[in-house]
Structures are given as C-alpha cells and as structure tokens.
Amino acid sequence: MTTSSELGKLIVVTGASTGMGAATARELARRGFHVLAGVRREHDAGTIRSARIEPVILDITRPEHVEALTTRVTDDPRALHALINNAGIQVNAPVEVLPLDQWRQAFEVNLFGHIAVTQALLPALLHSKGRVINISSIGGRIAMATYGAYAGAKFALEAVSDSLRREIAPLGVQVIVIEPGGIRTQMASRGITTANRLAARMTPEQDTRYSTLIQANNKLMASGTASGLTPDAAAQIITKAATARRPHTRYTAGRDATLATRLARLLPDRALDNILAANLRRHQPQKPTP
C-alpha cells in the first residue's frame, strides 16, 4: 500500500513505451507517484504522457540520454523513491550462430545499460533511502536452448543485483529482482522475428543442426506468451515491490516462472535438461506422413 509520505515522489521506469513498463508506469501514477517514463521515440512519449507520467527520451545505452535523465532527477526537489530497470531486448539463437556483435548488443541493453542508469542515479537513491528494482527473467535462473545471450545477460543481472544489494543495504537502499515468465507483450514476437532473421543467415550445416530447434523454440515462445500474465498483472507485482514496506529480495511473476525456479533449485542438471528437451519436442514441426 502506498503511504502518504510516498505520494508525489519520483519513480524512474526505463523501457516504458509498451508492455510491462508502460503498465507499471500507469499503475504507479495511479498510486500517486510522479513517473519519469523512459521511452525511445517521441511517438511513444505522446502515447504514455499523462498528468503523473512524464516521458523522458531514454536509450539506456547512450551516455548522453543517461546524463540528461540524471540532471532531470537531480534538479527536481522531490525525492527519488525508486529506479525500475525494465528496458530490454530478446535475442534467441544457438551459441554457434549468433554473431558477436549481437551478443554485445544483448549485454549492452540487458546488463550494461542498467548498470549505467543505476550508477548515475544511486546518489539520489542513497539520499532518499530509495530502492532499485531490476526486471530480470526466468531466463536469469534457467538458460534454455537458444537463450545463451539473453539468459547470459539476465544471469549477470541477477549476480549484479545480489552484489549491489549487499553493498548498499547497510546504506538504506533496497535492491529487488523481478523474475517474469511469459508475459503477453510484443517482446516475444520481436524475438521470434529476430530468431528467424538470424536463422536465414545460417550455413547449410548450421541449418541441419539447428533449424528444428529454432522452429520448436519459436512455437514455445509464442505459446508461453499467449498463456502468460497480462502486462497489468505483472505491473501489480512490480508495484508491490516498489511500495511494500519490507519487500522481498525477489519476486516471480507468473506460474511458469514460479514452477521453473523451483525445478531449477531442486533438480540435478541432467534431469532438468530432459524436462526442457521434452517440452521442446512437443513444439517441433510435424514431419509429413508418407
């Protein structure tokens, strides 16, 4: 529950153009916060702008954008209650296939950009005794086939979050991780488009090795998205992390995320490998009957 002392405080939400980020910005504004909503295009700014939502053009991989956001926060007399690091991209391809520049881009957006924004806003959060909320993924606990780059960045974000929490908890700043499973957003569809584009560039040998895997994974992503949480439901969990007096260090979002984290914790690697492989086989393209 939002307290009267929190009303009017600032919250920064990155990646707020659509999906979970936009839904979270709207829910926090409804609770009385003034939300600085990071968007990448002026069109998105016009879509999300409201009385308590102030769009900020923000590509977290561009230092000048991060600097402008920092100046905006520093110049505001209101306290910064929370930073919600939500921006992200999904890239799916086998480790052998994904070009190194795509690996670097995945880490720039899903890890280093969050670190840059966090470093820039930590002085304001230390002053206000605020909190950092990092939107990770079930991919930060389990790295499925073709998720090497995405899960690699999310695993790293989880580790950075743990380290940061232990560094700044004694200084009064809380660090919280959100681990969503399937969410009904455009992220998975964009990921499928990227996967198909990368697959089209594979060598014939790579196509033989991985084409069935990529097709099955695309169907699994689409299925998981269709049955996942709505952005509004995910926003409720993020808002709880932002407003709870004593928040957990981690929240899962969705039954699939809760189940997967339990399996990862309880099962040996080979057993988990077999379960994930069996799930993928259910989505493999059917061979034509002779």
Structure tokens, 117 = 């924004």
Structure tokens, 92 = 């799916």
Domains and CATH numbers, the chain: 10-186+229-268 (3.40.50.720)
* Share of residues in the chain with pLDDT > 90 (%): 76
How far apart CA 290 and CA 287 sit, in angstroms, is 9
Q: Which 3 state secondary structure label does DSSP give 174? A: strand
Q: How distant, in Å, are the alpha carbons of 1, 133, 135, 153, 289 from that of 156?
A: 31, 15, 12, 5, 45
Average pLDDT over the chain, rounded to an integer: 92
Does residue 251 have an active-site annotation?
no
Q: Is the pLDDT score of 23 beyond 70?
A: yes
Per-residue model confidence as pLDDT tens digits over 224-273: 777 778 999 999 999 999 999 999 999 999 888 888 888 888 999 999 99
Catalytic residue among 147, 150, 210, 251: 150
For residue 3, what pLDDT is reported?
Answer: 54
Per-residue model confidence as pLDDT tens digits over 91-104: 999 999 999 999 99
The helix (H) or strand (E) run that includes residue 287 is none
For residue 184, what pLDDT is reported?
Answer: 80
Confidence of residue 289 (pLDDT cuts 50, 70, 90): very low
Closest CA to 161 of 249, 70, 245, 88: 249
Question: Would you say the pTM of this structure is higher than 0.75?
Answer: yes
User: Is the dihedral angle over the CA atoms 285, 263, 103, 182 positive or is it negative?
Assistant: positive
Over residues 208-213, the mean pLDDT reads: 93
Over residues 167-172, the mean pLDDT reads: 98
User: Is the dihedral angle over the CA atoms 270, 271, 276, 282 positive or is it negative?
Assistant: positive
Per-residue model confidence as pLDDT tens digits over 101-132: 999 999 999 999 999 999 999 999 999 999 99
Q: Is the pLDDT score of 284 beyond 80?
A: yes
Do 195 and 92 form a contact (C-beta atoms < 8 A)? yes
